[in-house]
Structure 1
Amino acid sequence: MTEDSRKATAQKAAVVTGASTGIGEATVRALAAEGWTVFAVARRAERLEVLEAETGAVAIPADITEDDDVARLLASVTAAGGVDTLINIAGGARGADQLGDANTGDWEWMYRVNVLGTMKITRAFLPMLRATGEGTVLNLTSTAGLAAYEGGAGYNAAKFAQHAMTGALRLEEAENNIRVIEVAPGLVHTEEFALNRLGDQQAAAKVYQGVEKPLTAQDVADVVRYAVTVPHHVNLDQIVMRPVAQAANHKLIRKQA
């Protein structure tokens, strides 16, 4: 780390949700390596314990959709000195049904986690972020929130809502000098996203089959790290990132085996 970057990250602290796996875990590692104080938040305590031991992050098991957990999380972070950055990574997809075959439970889960969870934790931490004078909120959305595709209606709906919420928050909090950043990745190969969505390892593997160099969790974490460490007056409103093989949601180049 250079002297300039040491100064830039001095006393920087962040809450990172979805920290037990994938992009959230990679983001915790990226920020901790830069000297940040990181509060790693997820439901799975055992995974957070390993991450804490390896990175020095502060593990706080919590479900961001539960009001009591959010209140407990806020109290723990406040007692530990607070943060100036909130990074909302937690989210996900369930199912790939077309609208005519929509599973209500899957839709409710996606809305609860991607939209209501982001809202609840952001609402809770906004007073703290305002008080710092230079707060940051970064929401991880998806290219699914920018363009619809067949079989994606439920996830599209949830991520479009999260995308809209992010834009509204930016307008509402500009007067409080809070910058609001959206990172919208395309195809990212992580250990759990496609598996959780499709419920089958073989089906999940087919999502990435033949795709040369899909994005990795580390790729996205590097962009997140950059976005929250540039000087505070710089707001990267929206960052769309895809692998080169994915020209659009509906166009993905697959090589023959």
Structure 2
Amino acid sequence: MKQTALVTGATAGFGKAIAHRLVHDGYRVIATGRRQERLDALAAELGPDLLPFRLDMDDAAAIAALPGSLPEGWCDVDVLVNNAGLALGMEKAQDADIANWQTMISTNVTGMVELTRVLLPGMVARDRGHVVTLGSTAGTYPYTGGNVYGATKAFVRQFTRNLRCDLLGHNVRVTNLEPGLCGGSEFSQVRLRDDAKAAAVYEGTKPLLPTDIAETVAWVLSLPRHVNINEIEMMPVCQAAGGLAVARGMKD
């Protein structure tokens, strides 16, 4: 029987590419997101092995009800890809909009842990499963304006590490993928709310693409059942972690 994967944030970018790749690899995919018309278009494109399922990661009640809301035959989720997430703003902490912080925490942290908690007992009971979560190099390397976004991704890393401890003795795998500079998605448009500024982020670079992330997810899932890839940090060749910053000319 085909395995069932649930991919959050599947209406664009990483999630859409991952859904495409997993259907190609023989999975049945539950594709979730807020934009129903995009989910329907994805289902029309990929056929009966893709189930469009509208889900807002800020809606705790909908997340809690998800297992009982899935159609018959789709309830046993073998793979959870926690992809949904966003960054909002590049202001320094002292100038940031607190509403942006709350939205990032709600989506990147709260929604992600709630959905994981809902699906994990079934994986444990069946003694099979894989949780793949999209973190970020921002969770490791600080940068100006990264404040709460980076903090949410640091949470993702530590959460997945602790899941591995809790799941010891069960055949349920957990992987955290931490991409660096990635183009080909709506990430920068959402963050900067300005198409020209978003385009400038990638000017003169060859960033990672959603298909690169999907390829990595597919590889992690394809490994033998006894192999767990804990973490993968990935960057394009044009990117590296920067050195420490020094402010010069400061007053005593």
Q: What residue number does 1:36 align with?
A: 27
The residue number in structure 2 matching 1:193 is 187
| Aligned residue number for residue 171 of structure 2 | 177
User: Which residue does 2:58 correspond to in 1?
Assistant: 65
Query: 1 CA distance for matches of 2:175 and 2:41?
Result: 29
Structure 1 equivalent of residue 116 of structure 2: 122
The total of aligned residue pairs comes to: 241
8 Å Cα contact 1:93/1:197 also seen in 2 = yes
**Structure-to-structure mapping, 1:90-101, within 5 angstroms:** 90-101=84-95
Asked if 1:246 corresponds to 2:226, the answer is: no
C-alpha separation in 2, matches of 1:80 and 1:109: 33
Evaluate the alpha carbon distance shift between residue 199 and residue 220 of structure 1 in structure 2; reply closer, same or farther with a 3 A threshold.
Answer: same
**Residue 2 of structure 2 is aligned to residue 11 of structure 1:** yes
State the 1:214 CA deviation: 0.7
Superposed, 1:143-222 pairs within 5 Å as: 143-211=137-205, 213-222=206-215
Q: 2:40 aligns with which of 16, 38, 49?
A: 49
Rounded to whole Å, the distance in 2 between the matches of 1:59 and 1:95 is 30
Matched, 1:80 2:73: yes
Q: 1:231 aligns with which of 199, 224, 230?
A: 224
Instruction: Tell me the equivalent position of 1:141.
Output: 135
Unaligned runs of 5+ in 1: 1-9, 252-257
Measured against aligned partners, the alpha-carbon deviations of 1:87-131 in whole angstroms (never above 9, x if no partner) come to: 100001000011121210111111110000110100000111112
Structure 2: distance between partners of 1:43 and 1:243: 30
Identity %: 39
What CA distance in whole angstroms lies between the structure 1 residues aligned with 2:51 and 2:242? Answer: 36
Q: 2:129 and 2:230 mapped to 1: Cα distance?
A: 14
1:7 alignment partner in structure 2 = none
User: One-letter code of the match for 1:17?
Assistant: T
C-alpha distance after superposition, 1:199-221 (max 9, x if no partner): 1001101110111x210001111
* Structure 2: segments with no counterpart, 5+ residues: 245-252
Shift of 1:249: 5.7
Alignment check: 8 A CA contact 1:74 1:124 kept: yes
CA distance in 2, matches of 1:250, 1:209: 22
1:250 and 1:208 mapped to 2: Cα distance? 20
**Secondary structure in 1 matching 2:225:** coil
TM-score computed with the length of structure 1 as normaliser = 0.90
Using the alignment, how far apart are the partners of 2:243 and 2:166 within structure 1?
A: 33
TM-score by length of 2: 0.91
Deviation at 1:190, TM superposition (A): 2.5
- C-alpha distance in 2 between matches for 1:124 and 1:46: 26
Which residue identity is paired with 2:9? G
What CA distance in whole angstroms lies between the structure 2 residues aligned with 1:29 and 1:66?
26
Deviation at 1:164, TM superposition (A): 1.2
